[in-house]
């Protein structure tokens, strides 16, 4: 037995002894001691199919050569990878594969990183016995050989180059659970294609290009741009979601040319989503702001950096002198590096003496502005992505998982596929995860709390709880409102029996995970919901790291860890004070919504926003726009002109994430550094440079050089400690009945489109090829009821605004819920929702004319 | 020899359950359910020495015994009625004429491995045999031989007649399982063997129609009786499909070990009048040739192997002197190329290359060195593929070249046939 | 909808009998083919809804099996075996005869849309060669005379049905 508890097996490969875990394949065992067996169809993360026959080896006592990729090691096996027979077999396979391969390597984008090229170079022969036309694949309709065919928004297929390893289709079905690519015909006519008439456009589709060992599948993103050996590479991290996808950027002196995966088994296992893959493109955009703008007589005009910085310093000083520093607030966006956030924080707290900083820009804030203990605790759970695959029961709650957590979603699927984990989902809409769910429960919009209350009732009523006694259980029941399962179930609109069934299934789980996401975070009632979740986790005895509210933006956690929020824990305050060798201001800070409210009142006069676009993204458009308009002095640093920069007195061109080095902290709390890929675009400055020069202009330099900044930031991140979940604590959870929304009967959800995240992705042409415009998503049933057809124009109206949008049907929608993506600047979606009322709308079909 | 499987093949309505019962059918089943435990039954079948009639000749009892007994997963039985190997047309006769014999065999086999689902995978083109089987299955349900609690024994069995879609490869057991699961009929890598992980990843036995049809007789009349037919290692009787240039082609049941000459000359009425024997394919199109001087080879697994070929599915294709052997090789390779599933490289690409080469020789465009190239390609396919289809394509090709190389050389040199094939159609 | 109620009923009843829904793909393709006469994307889409299996899986499976024509064919699809056993009994010449007789080449359909002629691999009628299959029916031990009669009978049948 080894450390990991697996049985060990010793065998001999090419005369060398090797010991590996039972269940390892001969190919992997050989790789582990540096013997490279050539292959095409094998992939470490896919099930072996043994199709290409390239990896044949000779094993003593076996009558025929066997495929090493699908043969498990056995004790005492004697393997040879280099006998004459094997060499001949490999040559044979290569000769077969080359028979109809076009040999267009000079113009093939895979050139230089093609497995066929490499394998022929090291194992092939240099003469050809092929005397026929290279045209294995002939299109029946046109009688021509297959050349390039676009099979999806980003993918071109050249069937003649295909070596029929099926990796693309296997990835698509096995790993991603997507069905937009298949294998057709058979024998030598086998082709890889999408289902007739449909494109391959799933969120993970870029991976099929990456794992294609030859140039059969190429990306329009990369085609004919540059030869791979002329590029440089930088290790990076995706700047969108909080999963922390590891990527590698390929760039030359001018541009970034592509992003590929940088396999990290703890995080992504080498699979990245399309947003991570194509999302770098905004960096290359010609629409970037490259000169500071200063508002003069109501007009923003170009200015020099010097002018701009001086102006900001002067105005901050004036405001500070007049009303005290507390009335200057700072907001940062979700993809600023941890270092930038740290410096920004220091600038505000140390130089401006203001505690009014926040990074939580997209969720409706709460009345008191303070997150509760339960919410904080669950948001900081030490959840580990890789551990999820060992789960046997998983509840995904209040999250459209594929959109919120594209990579954790793949782990969820793996848990299901590899270990048969029983997945349950509870959401206001049907989600992609439904296909692997034992049961998918759809609750009425905004009844998350009622759902949890019902579930808790079921757990208590059926004595499914752990670690507490009956009297405690009875006591817990009294803090729930509604006070019975049937009432609570009635509010959330789910059958009591199904809730009880779910409670039983969760209680039966030996390795149970409960993961909650965006719908919860965006809810006005998130404290109540968090309380319920906290109670549930305690009742069911869920481990501390297995009940979590997952973070959303690339660096929300990083910003949080370095204290970019108004209220700091005592220990963090102490750490910062000691690092800065100064007292932190004792004034109370404002959270995002308090800042906006303060702006509408008299408390806040100036806001400095870096890398964020609340005018477009804050889910109460009228409110936030009024607040920004009212400010005395607004500074916005960003990459593009946005609805927010439009209101600014000074606009500063900001560098993108890849134009500097830095770090992100992903939703697990994993600190991941990334390197600089390109020098900043001419005229732009990094967040750090901006803050530094501002501090200098205000004659209070921050005194942190790059190196110190990096180490200090890391130390602060590392010093962060979490209070474990108090397992004997139970909170009150209440939800009142469903409110009647009168004239506005449909719940409107706003959020990310499948292929967009935040407001920068619309500057990525590849992503725009997947979704280029806003739409109103609804279920076919609701559409039928309203006599609306797919593609019709409708007017959507709420108490705060109205919009005209095109309807799109969604197989994932059920019931009377609507969705509009908030990634497109062309339409002010956030004007339809308000902090008090949430998003409730009515819709009306417009005549075509 | 008294006919066993074909005893009632001439009976006009033997396919009706009442006639089957009248002629002694459905007697083995009650006996099995009453007198045997599954283990005893497997033992009995092992002792009978009955071997798979689908091609490989694997002992049936032994195969059944591989199914794990303790496994909690469901077990499945698949009756392989894909019958697509050129020359083979025997299972079809059994299904058309005596379907209940097949069904009874399936029920007994299912009981032996404790399967509660049995599938009969019939090639899609066999619409009529499938119809007969379907009707017979319904009759069997009606009489309580299928369904819940069969004959009060507590044993349940559901039987489904499943038809294919035109793919020879689906006769290969792992491809059959893929196809039955609703996937493309592509072979899978072994191990795991179907007996351990087959249909829906559960233990599964795949047996040929004829293999299963033999079972009721073994039970009814005993192992000793069964063993009186055939040889020590090849017990029992077997149906041979005789086709090609004989006077009376047809399906003939003889005991294993019967000389090939008896089947061709006595039963088949000899080579088509006026013509001379040129070569014989003894076991279906995938088996190497036997030459005229080997016509007395006894038809059992061992003797045919010793003669350099294989008994295979028992499809004897007789070729007379009117055939150009390059043309024969072409017909065969065209078939295998058409039927390759496309999963593994040597089979997918190799059969296409062979097809192109052999066709070009046949069409008078052969080049010097083509024969050597063909043989080398054969070497690169043989033993390198997932399933034996690759081998099946290679064996007849190599064998034809071995025996008739001169015809290939003549073709290449003279750009035409040594013997111009011309079988008249009248 | 292309598939009629009877076909859908056949498919769904069959589907329920399998331990896994997906197994019903092949039977479903068969039923659909028998009703429609060929298979193509719109049919796959409908089947995908009926069986509740991704569209691509239906299309993939269908394309693997050569028995189902993927384009419209004549009322009678004549499939002549040209494999070894039939060829040894004159299948090649029979094919020539049939092309002459029908006035079409291999793979073509007669102008009246009655007959489509194709050659296929072994159909399991080897000891009754030469043979052919017309739609679902086997015709064996063929001679010129028999072929003439079969074609005449089929034409008459079609005429009777007013086609
Ligand atoms: C390419 C190929 C085609 C086959 N076709 C058939 C077939 O049509 N019918 C059959 O019974 N066995 C066929 N077999 C053999 C099966 O794989 C399997 O060995 C057999 O069904 C087992 O049954 P048995 O043990 O009763 O013979 C084929 C094998 C190969 C490699
Ligand atoms: S397209 Fe690429 S990945 Fe897909 S089967 Fe062909 S070679 Fe493999
Ligand atoms: S893998 Fe067996 S036919 Fe190709």
Condensed to tens digits (0 to 9), the pLDDT of residues C9-35 reads 999 999 999 999 999 999 999 999 999
CB B175 near ligand 3, within 6 Å: no
Structure tokens at B362: 């046949």
Q: What distance in Å separates residue A822's CA from the closest CA in chain C?
A: 30
pLDDT at A815 over 90: no
Q: Are residues A560 and A686 in the same domain?
A: yes
Is the pLDDT at A215 greater than 60? The verdict is yes
Instruction: Identify any residues that bridge with A258 across adjacent strands, giving them in sequence order.
Output: A250
CA gap B172, B54 in Å, rounded = 9
Mean pLDDT for the stretch of residues C89-101: 97
Residues A400 and A521 in one domain: yes
- Considering chain B, tell me which residue range(s) the CATH 3.40.50.11540 domain(s) occupy: 17-226
The CATH architecture assigned to B325-414 reads Up-down Bundle (1.20)
CA of B15 to the centre of ligand 3 (A): 36
- What six digits make up the tokens of A575? 């750490």
Are C82 and C145 within one domain? yes
The reply to whether C34 and C91 lie within a common domain is: no
Average pLDDT on A284-292 reads 96
> How confident is the model at residue C15, as a pLDDT?
96
- Residues C47 and C80 occupy one common structural domain: no
Distance from CA of B197 to the nearest CA of C (A): 16
Question: What average pLDDT does chain A have?
Answer: 93
How far apart are the C-alpha atoms of A41 and A23, rounded to whole Å? 19
pLDDT of A512 > 50? The answer is yes
**Same domain (yes/no): C92, C144:** yes
Q: Are C51 and C85 part of one and the same domain?
A: no
> Is residue A123 assigned to a domain?
no
Partners of residue B425 in chain C, C-beta under 8 Å: 90-94, 96-97, 130, 143-144
CA B289/CA A238 separation, integer angstroms: 64
* Same domain as C147, residue C92: yes
User: How close is the Cα of B172 to the center of ligand 1, in Å?
Assistant: 5
Residues C109 and C129 in one domain: yes
Query: Do residues A744 and A833 share a domain?
Result: yes
Examine the domain organization and report whether A388 and A502 are in the same domain. Answer: yes
Domain containing C19 — which CATH number?
A: 1.10.10
Say if residue A572 is in the same domain as residue A659: yes
Confidence of residue A373 (pLDDT cuts 50, 70, 90): confident
CATH of the domain at A467: 3.40.228.10
Q: Which two tokens stand for residue B67?
A: 């199914």
Helix and strand totals (H; E) in chain B:
15, 8
Instruction: Please give the DSSP secondary-structure letter assigned to residue A484.
Output: S
What's the CA-to-centroid distance between B174 and ligand 1, angstroms?
A: 10
H or E stretch covering A512: strand A512-516
pLDDT category, C162, cuts 50, 70, 90? Answer: confident
Residue A324 confidence (pLDDT): 76
The number of domains in chain A is 4
Question: Using CA atoms, how far apart are residues A672 and A554, in angstroms rounded to an integer?
Answer: 11
**Could you tell me which chains touch chain A, where touching means 3 or more CB pairs under 8 A?**
B, C
List the pLDDT tens digit at each of the 426 positions of chain B.
899 999 999 999 999 999 999 999 999 999 999 999 999 999 999 999 999 999 999 999 999 999 999 878 999 999 999 999 999 999 999 999 999 999 999 999 999 999 999 999 999 999 999 999 999 999 999 999 999 999 999 999 999 999 999 999 999 999 999 999 999 999 999 999 999 999 999 999 999 999 999 999 999 999 999 999 999 999 999 999 999 999 999 999 999 999 999 999 999 999 999 999 999 999 999 999 999 999 999 999 999 999 999 999 999 999 999 999 999 999 999 999 999 999 999 999 999 999 999 999 999 999 999 999 999 999 999 999 999 999 999 999 999 999 999 999 999 999 999 888 989 998
Q: Per the domain annotation, does A122 fall within a domain?
A: no
Residues of chain A in contact with residue C57, where contact means CB-CB under 8 angstroms, are 179, 182
C-beta neighbour count of B93 within 10 angstroms: 22
Closest Cα partner for A745 from A784, A797, A787, A791? A797
Region class of C103: left (phi > 0), else alpha (psi between -120 and 50), else beta: left
Residue of B nearest to A91 (CA): B380
H/E element, A538:
helix A526-539
Closest CA to C98 of C24, C150, C162: C150
Structure tokens at A713: 């930031």
Q: To the nearest whole angstrom, how far is the Cα of B264 from the nearest Cα of chain A?
A: 35
Nearest to A179 among C40, C41, C57 (CB): C57
The answer to whether B279 and B268 have CB atoms below 8 angstroms apart is no
Round to whole Å and give the CA distance between B89 and B240. Answer: 9
Residue A760 structure tokens: 């920068």
Does the pLDDT value for residue C163 go beyond 80?
Answer: no
A541 and A563 fall within a common domain: no
Ligand 2 center–CA A218 separation, angstroms: 11
C120 and C154 belong to one structural domain: yes
Please choose, from the candidates A397, A384, A401, A410, the residue with its C-alpha nearest in 3D space to the C-alpha of residue A667.
A384
Please report the atom of ligand 3 found closest to the CA of residue B339: 3
Paired tokens of B350: 């190799």
Q: What's the mean pLDDT in A662-679?
A: 96
The residue among A742 and C147 whose pLDDT is bigger is C147
- Subunits in contact with chain C (3 or more CB pairs closer than 8 Å): A, B
Per-residue pLDDT tens for A43-88? 999 999 999 999 999 999 999 999 999 999 999 999 999 999 999 9
* Residue in C23, C96, C143 closest to B181 by CB: C23
In a domain, A368, yes or no: no
CATH number for position A33: 3.10.20.740
DSSP B23-82: TTTTSHHHHHHHH--HHHHHHHHHHHT-B-SSSS--BHHHHHHTS-SS--S--EEEEEE-
Cα–Cα distance for residue pair A451/A499, rounded to 1 Å:
8
What distance in Å separates the CA atoms of residue A546 and residue B413, rounded to the nearest whole number? Answer: 77
pLDDT at A367 over 60: no
Is the preceding omega at residue B118 within 30 degrees of 0, hence cis? no
Same-domain check for residues A634 and A777: no
Q: And the tokens for A649?
A: 């007195």
Cβ distance of C121 and B245 shorter than 8 Å: no
Give the span between the Cα atoms of A338 and A349, in whole angstroms: 16
**Does a structural domain hold residue C146?**
yes
- The yes-or-no verdict on residue A136 having pLDDT over 70 is no
Residue A822's CATH number: 2.40.40.20
The percentage of residues in chain A with a pLDDT greater than 70, rounded to a whole number, is 97
Please indicate whether, in this complex, the C-beta atoms of B426 and C89 are within 8 angstroms of each other: no
A to C CB pairs, distance under 8 Å: 32
Do both C94 and C131 map to the same domain? yes
- The pLDDT of residue A366 is 61
Mean pLDDT of the residues in chain C: 96
Q: Which domain holds residue C22?
A: 5-64
Residues B151 and A86: their CA atoms lie apart, in Å, by 57
CATH number of B237-320: 3.10.20.600
Over residues A791-818, the mean pLDDT reads 89
Q: What is the mean pLDDT of residues C133-150?
A: 97
d(Cα C34, Cα C12) in Å, to the nearest integer?
16
Is 60 exceeded by the pLDDT of residue A443?
yes
Give the residue from C15, C41, C64 where a domain finishes: C64
Do A559 and A695 share a domain, yes or no?
yes
3-class SS at B252?
strand
Which pLDDT does position A849 carry in this prediction?
Answer: 47
Same domain, A316 and A438: no
In a domain, A333, yes or no: yes
Given A521, A549, A577, the domain boundary residue is: A549
- Is A182 in contact with C64 (Cβ distance < 8 A)? no
**d(Cα B162, Cα C26) in Å, to the nearest integer?**
8
Number of structural domains, chain C? 2
Cβ–Cβ < 8 Å for B99, B128: no
Q: Which of A502, A524, A549 is the last residue of a domain?
A: A549
In a domain, C135, yes or no: yes
State in words which class domain B17-226 has: alpha beta
Ligand 1 centroid, distance to A648 Cα (angstroms): 77
Residues A689 and A567 in one domain: yes
Q: From the list B346, B356, B373, which residue is nearest A93 (CB)?
A: B346
DSSP 8-state symbol, A82: -
A493 touches chain C (CB under 8 A): no
Q: Does A143 touch chain C (CB under 8 A)?
A: no
Chain A residue whose CA is closest to C61: A184
The count of other CB atoms within 10 Å of the CB of residue B416 is 12
Strand pairing class (A776-778; A802-809): parallel
**Spatial distance between the Cα atoms of B71 and B50, rounded to a whole number of angstroms:** 26
For residue B150, with 0-12 CB atoms within 10 Å meaning exposed, 13-18 middle and 19 or more buried, which class applies? buried
pLDDT tops 80 at residue C69: yes
Residue A59 belongs to a domain: yes
* pLDDT (tens digit per residue) in C104-131: 999 999 999 999 999 999 999 999 999 9
- Are A669 and A793 contained in the same domain? no
The answer to whether position A127 is within a domain reads no
Query: In angstroms, what CA-CA distances link A594 with A597, A625, A834?
Result: 5, 14, 15
Domain termination site, one of C41, C64, C87: C64
Q: Tell if the CB–CB gap between C56 and A194 is shorter than 8 Å.
A: yes
C58 shares a domain with C81: no
Asked if C124's CB is within 8 angstroms of B92's CB, the reply is yes
Q: Give the pLDDT confidence score for residue A276 in this predicted structure.
A: 98
Give the ranges where A698-779 is alpha helix by DSSP (H): 706-719, 765-770
pLDDT at A241 over 70: yes
Indicate if A530 and A491 belong to the same structural domain: yes
Contact C154, C134 (CB under 8 A): yes
| Cα(A261)–Cα(A244) distance, integer angstroms | 12
In a shared domain, residues C27 and C59: yes
pLDDT tens-digit series, residues A88-101: 999 999 999 999 89
Domain membership of residue A108 (yes or no) is: no
Which residues' Cβ are closer than 6 Å to ligand 2? A 162-168, 192, 212-214, 216-217
Q: In chain B, which residues fall in CATH 3.10.20.600?
A: 237-320
Mind listing the pLDDT tens digit for each residue in A444-453? 988 999 999 9
CB A242 within 8 A of CB A379: no
Q: Which of C64, C88, C104 is the last residue of a domain?
A: C64
Query: Can you give the residue range of the structural domain that contains A46?
Result: 8-99
- Say whether A195 and C64 touch across the interface (CB within 8 A): no
């Amino acid at each position: 037995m080894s450390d990991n508890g697996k049985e060990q097996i010793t065998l001999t490969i090419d005369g060398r002894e090797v010991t590996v875990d039972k269940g390892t394949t001969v190919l992997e065992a050989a790789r582990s001691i540096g013997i490279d067996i050539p292959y095409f169809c094998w992939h470490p993360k896919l099930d072996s199919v043994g199709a290409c026959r390239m990896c044949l080896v000779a094993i003593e006592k076996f009558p025929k050569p066997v495929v090493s990729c699908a043969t498990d090691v056995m004790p005492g096996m004697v393997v040879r990878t280099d006998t004459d027979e094997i060499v001949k077999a490999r040559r044979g396979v290569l000769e077969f594969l080359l028979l109809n391969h076009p040999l267009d390597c000079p113009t093939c984008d895979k050139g230089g990183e093609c497995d066929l090229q490499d394998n022929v170079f090291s194992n092939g022969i240099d003469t050809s016995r092929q005397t026929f036309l290279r045209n294995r694949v002939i299109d029946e309709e046109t009688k021509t050989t297959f050349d390039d065919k676009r099979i999806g928004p980003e993918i071109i297929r050249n069937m003649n180059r295909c070596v029929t390893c099926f990796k693309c289709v296997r990835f698509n079905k096995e790993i991603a659970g997507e069905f937009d690519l298949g294998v057709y015909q058979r024998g030598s006519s086998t082709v890889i294609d999408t289902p007739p008439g449909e494109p391959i456009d799933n969120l993970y589709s870029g991976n099929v290009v990456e794992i294609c060992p030859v140039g059969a599948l190429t990306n329009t993103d990369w085609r004919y741009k540059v030869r791979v050996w002329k590029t440089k590479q930088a290790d990076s991290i995706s700047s969108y979601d909080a999963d922390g996808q590891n990527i590698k950027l390929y760039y030359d002196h001018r541009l970034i040319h592509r992003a590929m995966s940088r396999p990290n088994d703890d995080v992504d296992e080498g699979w990245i989503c399309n947003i991570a893959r194509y999302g770098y493109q905004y960096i290359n955009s010609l629409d970037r702001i490259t000169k500071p703008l200063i508002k003069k007589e109501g007009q923003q005009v170009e200015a020099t950096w010097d002018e701009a910085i001086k102006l900001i310093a002067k105005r901050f000083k004036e405001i500070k002198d007049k009303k005290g520093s507390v009335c200057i607030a700072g907001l940062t966006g979700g993809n600023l590096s941890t270092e930038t956030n740290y410096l920004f924080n220091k600038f505000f707290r140390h130089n401006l003496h203001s505690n009014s900083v926040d990074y939580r820009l997209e969720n409706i804030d709460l009345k008191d502005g303070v997150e509760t203990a339960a919410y904080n605790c669950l948001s900081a759970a030490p959840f580990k992505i890789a551990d999820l695959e060992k789960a046997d029961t998983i509840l995904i709650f209040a999250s459209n998982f594929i959109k919120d957590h594209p990579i954790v979603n793949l782990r969820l699927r793996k848990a299901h596929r590899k270990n048969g984990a029983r997945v349950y989902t509870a959401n206001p809409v049907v989600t992609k995860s439904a296909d692997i769910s034992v049961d998918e429960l759809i609750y009425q919009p905004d009844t998350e709390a009622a759902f949890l209350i019902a579930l808790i009732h079921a757990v208590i009523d059926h004595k499914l709880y752990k670690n507490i006694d009956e009297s405690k259980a009875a006591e817990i029941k009294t803090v729930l409102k509604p006070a019975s399962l049937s009432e609570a179930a009635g509010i959330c609109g789910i059958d009591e029996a199904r809730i009880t069934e779910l409670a039983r299934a969760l209680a039966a789980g030996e390795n149970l995970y409960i993961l909650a996401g965006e719908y919860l975070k965006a809810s006005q009632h998130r404290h109540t919901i968090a309380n319920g979740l906290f109670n549930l986790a305690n009742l069911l005895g869920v481990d501390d790291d297995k009940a979590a509210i997952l973070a959303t933006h690339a660096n929300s956690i990083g910003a949080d860890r370095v204290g970019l929020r108004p209220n700091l824990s005592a220990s963090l305050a102490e750490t910062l004070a000691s690092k800065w060798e100064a007292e932190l201001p004792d004034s109370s800070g404002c959270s995002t919504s308090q800042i906006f409210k303060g702006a509408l009142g008299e408390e806040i006069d100036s806001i400095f926003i870096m890398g964020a676009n609340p005018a477009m993204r804050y889910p109460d458009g009228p409110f936030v726009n009024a607040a920004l308009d009212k400010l005395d002095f607004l500074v916005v640093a960003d990459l593009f002109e946005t609805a927010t920069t439009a209101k600014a007195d000074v606009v500063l061109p900001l560098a993108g994430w890849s134009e500097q080095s830095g770090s992100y902290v992903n939703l697990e709390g994993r600190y991941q550094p990334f390197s600089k890929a390109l020098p900043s675009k001419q005229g732009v400055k990094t967040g750090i440079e901006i803050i530094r020069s501002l501090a200098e202009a205000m004659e209070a330099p921050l005194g942190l050089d790059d190196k110190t900044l990096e180490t200090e930031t890391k130390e602060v991140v590392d010093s962060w400690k979490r209070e474990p979940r108090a397992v004997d604590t139970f909170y009150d959870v209440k939800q009142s009945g469903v409110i009647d929304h009168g004239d506005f009967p449909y719940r409107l959800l706003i959020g990310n489109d499948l292929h967009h995240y935040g407001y920068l992705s619309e500057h990525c042409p590849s992503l725009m090829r997947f979704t280029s415009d806003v739409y109103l998503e609804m279920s076919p049933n609701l559409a039928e009821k309203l006599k609306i057809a797919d593609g019709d124009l409708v007017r959507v109206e709420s108490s705060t605004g109205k919009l005209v949008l095109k309807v799109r049907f969604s197989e994932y929608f059920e019931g009377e819920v609507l969705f509009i993506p908030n990634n497109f600047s062309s339409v002010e979606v956030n004007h339809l929702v308000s902090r008090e009322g949430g998003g409730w709308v009515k819709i009306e079909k417009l005549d075509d004319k | 020899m008294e006919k066993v499987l074909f005893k009632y093949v001439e009976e006009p309505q033997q396919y009706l359950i009442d006639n089957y019962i009248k002629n002694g059918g459905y007697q083995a089943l009650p006996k099995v359910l009453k007198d045997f435990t599954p283990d005893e039954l497997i033992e009995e079948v092992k002792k009978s020495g009955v071997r798979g009639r689908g091609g490989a000749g694997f002992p049936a009892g032994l195969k059944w015994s591989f199914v794990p007994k303790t496994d909690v997963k469901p077990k499945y039985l698949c009756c392989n009625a894909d019958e697509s190997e050129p020359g083979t047309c025997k299972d079809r006769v059994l299904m058309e004429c005596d379907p209940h014999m097949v069904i009874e065999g399936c029920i007994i086999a299912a009981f032996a491995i404790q399967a509660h689902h049995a599938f009969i995978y019939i090639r899609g083109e066999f619409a009529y045999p499938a119809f007969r089987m379907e009707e017979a299955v319904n009759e069997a349900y009606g009489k309580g031989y299928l369904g819940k609690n069969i004959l009060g024994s507590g044993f349940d069995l559901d039987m489904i007649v499943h038809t294919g879609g035109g793919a020879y490869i689906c006769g290969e057991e792992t491809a059959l399982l893929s196809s039955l699961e609703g996937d493309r009929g592509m072979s899978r890598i072994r191990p795991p063997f179907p007996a351990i992980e087959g249909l829906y990843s559960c233990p599964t036995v795949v047996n040929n129609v004829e293999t299963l049809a033999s079972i009721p007789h073994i039970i009814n009349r005993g192992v000793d009786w069964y063993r009186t037919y055939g040889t020590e290692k090849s017990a029992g009787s077997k149906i041979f499909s005789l086709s090609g240039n004989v006077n009376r082609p047809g399906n003939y049941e003889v005991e294993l070990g019967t000389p090939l000459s008896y089947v061709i000359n006595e039963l088949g009425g000899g080579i088509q009048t006026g013509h001379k024997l040129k070569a014989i394919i003894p076991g279906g199109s995938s088996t190497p040739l036997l030459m005229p001087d080997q016509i007395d080879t006894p038809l059992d697994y061992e003797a045919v192997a010793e003669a350099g070929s294989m008994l295979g599915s028992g499809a004897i294709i007789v070729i007379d002197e009117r055939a150009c052997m390059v043309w024969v090789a072409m017909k065969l390779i065209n078939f295998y190329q058409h039927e390759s599933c496309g999963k593994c490289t040597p089979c997918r690409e190799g059969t296409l290359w062979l097809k192109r080469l052999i066709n070009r020789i046949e069409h008078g465009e052969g080049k010097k060195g083509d024969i050597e190239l063909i043989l080398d390609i054969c070497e690169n396919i043989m033993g390198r593929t997932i399933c034996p289809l690759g081998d099946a394509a290679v064996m007849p090709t190599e064998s034809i070249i071995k025996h008739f190389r001169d015809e290939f050389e003549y073709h290449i040199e003279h750009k035409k046939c040594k013997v111009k094939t011309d079988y008249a159609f009248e | 909808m292309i598939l009629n109620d009877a076909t859908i009923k056949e498919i769904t009843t069959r589907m329920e009998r399998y331990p896994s829904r997906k197994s019903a793909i092949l039977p479903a393709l068969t039923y659909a083919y028998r009703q429609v006469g060929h298979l193509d994307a719109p049919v796959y889409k409908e089947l995908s809804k009926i069986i509740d299996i991704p569209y691509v899986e239906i299309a993939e499976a269908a394309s693997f099996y050569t028995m189902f024509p993927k384009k419209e064919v004549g009322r009678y699809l004549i499939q002549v075996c040209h494999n070894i056993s039939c060829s040894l009994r004159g299948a090649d010449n029979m094919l020539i005869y049939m092309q002459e007789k029908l006035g079409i080449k291999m793979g073509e359909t007669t102008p009246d849309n009655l007959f489509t002629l194709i050659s296929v691999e072994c159909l399991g009628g080897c000891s009754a060669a030469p043979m052919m299959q017309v739609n679902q029916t086997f015709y064996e031990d063929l001679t010129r005379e028999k072929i003439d009669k079969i074609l005449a009978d089929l034409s008459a049948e079609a005429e009777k049905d007013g086609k």
